[in-house]
Structure 1
Amino acid sequence: MTMDWDKLRVFHAVAEAGSLTHAGETLHLSQSAVSRQIRGLEEHLGVTLFHRHARGLILTEQGELLREATRDMTRKLVAASARIRDSKDEVFGQLRVTTTVGFGAMWLTPRLPRFFGEFPDISVDLLMTENVLDLPMREADVAIRMREPQQADLIRRPLFDVTMRFYASKAYVERHGAPQTEEELRAHRLISFSPNARQPAPVGFWINAQLELAHRSTLLMNNYFAMLQAAEHALGVAILPDYLAVDHPELTLVAPRLHSPAFTVYFAYPEELRRSRRVEVFRDFIAAEVETFRAAT
């Protein structure tokens, strides 16, 4: 039994949106046109694909089976399109990169001017989130994560190790001194990532152990940029990833013998994008930036 590609495309949009109206907006079709396509597909298959109710549409069991197929089709079509568009002589198109908020905003973004200088026709969609996006399902093309990705069918490579250390501004050290030991640190205000925020497990345990000590006071945040600002404004001693120190020489390392366990930053992308020129040039750019970063640390 053959099926109409247009009807499948419309079905996939409706299944993902859960609404005829929202699917129509995505496809630039009227709600009635979308509805006709769905009815036609249901009649062709002889099944009901959606339960209709006041709050929207819910897939039936048969609809769920068809959505799995259309998701796989869509993923393969997107990958094929990317490979076709990639050129040996020109590199262009969109590249979706996911990473954490802190790393994306504070390490990656300052380095992107060099990337765009070399590849001005690539558009980068930088998805900064603590959530792990599904690369095989093409929620993103490339991931830079603070732990080794566990999803199957991924090419992954370690970039560098990160350690959490204690930093204060030079102005703070001039005013309050540079603590060297755990005991001396207790006399200072500790600026820390919130213990409820997501961290690599060994690092989270270590940060929680620091917060259990009787410091003068604490300032808890859920954003490394805000923590950096607090440290630069001499509010206290901040627990920050050491990759920040390279780009912020106004920070001074204190208590150098105290630090968290190291964790590894990984670069990953789906196996099916192995030959994508956009992924290839971005991977090589990140590798070169990492080498420069390592040389500076």
Structure 2
Amino acid sequence: MRYDLVDLRLFSSIVAEGSITAGAEAVHLSLASASARVRSLEQHAGMTLLVRERRGVRPTPAGAALARHAREVLASTARLDGAVTSYARASTTPLVLLAGTSAMHRLVPKALSSFLTDRANVDVVVHENHSARSVQILVNGEADLGIVLESETRNSGLDVDALCDDSLVVIGSPGGVLTGRRSPISFAEVAEHPMVGLNTDSSLQRTIATNLDARGPTPRYRTLVPSLRTVVALAAAGMGLAIVPRRAITFDRSLDICDLNESWAHRRLVLAWGAATDRSSPTAASLAESIYGAT
């Protein structure tokens, strides 16, 4: 019996999803086409591979064996494809994308997962920098695209596209100092309380440090950590107040949130094109579209 890779991928997805409909959607086939392929598999095997039930399907012992071996075959095929394709990609220059801490939290992973899935032969190198540094690299033509603060691109001569709001807010645990507060809070007042933040080399922490008022209190950071996700979790757990982009907050988490009453807290992100980047380049334009779609 000969097995088609599409059939194996479909059957594996059906078993994983517990449904022919969901399995078909996972491999982008119509339900009619998927059902016909399953029937063909069963006819060639000479036995039932799936037990049809009211709420889905489950594999027979033979079907479970087929699904297990199908996963192994598909994994081996992916490794084979990667090994061969790597030779074709050797001379391809990867795209260079720059981004700050905020964009690296959700925007960049979401955009890259979409872009890289659709373009197996294109690679992307990502560097995290504060916006001022990213703009200089883009002006020098040393990167293709940058997700940067709009304010840093003024008078740079770079071609930019608007992306999204990236304003900063203050967060804390429910029942803490922010509970019941309606008016925005100043940084000086925030700094009177214990805080948690990002490592000092992060672009967000540099922004905060740059805007410290020498006449105001010096913030006490109970801990500095590498990721925004950890900062949000620590603030929610009551370890201290934190200043984060509003976009970093998932609203399934219990938090008190207050606007930060500082001019530097109101920010917007733009997508800046490198001085040497051709906007008509299909790969650069495709990465840009993935970034737009991720906002």
Q: Cα distance 1:126–1:194, how it changes in 2: closer, same or farther (>3 A)?
A: closer
SS at match of 1:273: coil
Unaligned segments of structure 1, at least 5 residues: 1-91, 291-297
SS at match of 2:252: coil
1:128 paired residue number: 128
Q: Is the 8 A contact 2:95 2:144 kept in 1?
A: yes
SS at match of 2:123: strand
Distance in structure 1 (CA, Å) of the matches to 2:283 and 2:215: 43
Q: Cα distance 1:251–1:115, how it changes in 2: closer, same or farther (>3 A)?
A: farther
Distance in structure 1 (CA, Å) of the matches to 2:101 and 2:286: 23
Q: Is the 8 A contact 1:179 1:255 kept in 2?
A: no
2:145 paired residue number: 142
| CA deviation after TM superposition for structure 1 residue 199, in Å | 5.9
1:244 to 244, 248, 253: 248
2:158 to 146, 154, 178: 154
Q: Is the 8 A contact 1:163 1:259 kept in 2?
A: no
Q: Is the 8 A contact 2:168 2:260 kept in 1?
A: no
SS at match of 1:160: strand
Q: Is the 8 A contact 2:197 2:221 kept in 1?
A: yes
1:109 paired residue number: 109
Q: Is the 8 A contact 1:167 1:240 kept in 2?
A: yes
Q: Is the 8 A contact 2:198 2:204 kept in 1?
A: no
Q: Does 1:277 align with 2:277?
A: no
Unaligned segments of structure 2, at least 5 residues: 1-91
| CA deviation after TM superposition for structure 1 residue 176, in Å | 7.1
Distance in structure 1 (CA, Å) of the matches to 2:192 and 2:174: 13
Q: Cα distance 1:186–1:122, how it changes in 2: closer, same or farther (>3 A)?
A: closer
Q: Is the 8 A contact 2:96 2:126 kept in 1?
A: yes
Q: Cα distance 1:220–1:97, how it changes in 2: closer, same or farther (>3 A)?
A: same
Distance in structure 2 (CA, Å) of the matches to 1:191 and 1:105: 17
How many residue pairs match? The answer is 193
Q: Cα distance 1:236–1:99, how it changes in 2: closer, same or farther (>3 A)?
A: same
Q: Is the 8 A contact 1:224 1:240 kept in 2?
A: no
Q: Is the 8 A contact 2:164 2:269 kept in 1?
A: yes
Tell me how large the CA RMSD over aligned residues is. 4.0
Query: In structure 1, what residue type is equivalent to 2:112?
Result: L
| CA deviation after TM superposition for structure 1 residue 204, in Å | 6.0
Aligned sequence identity (%): 13
Q: TM-score, normalised by structure 1?
A: 0.51
Q: Cα distance 1:125–1:278, how it changes in 2: closer, same or farther (>3 A)?
A: same
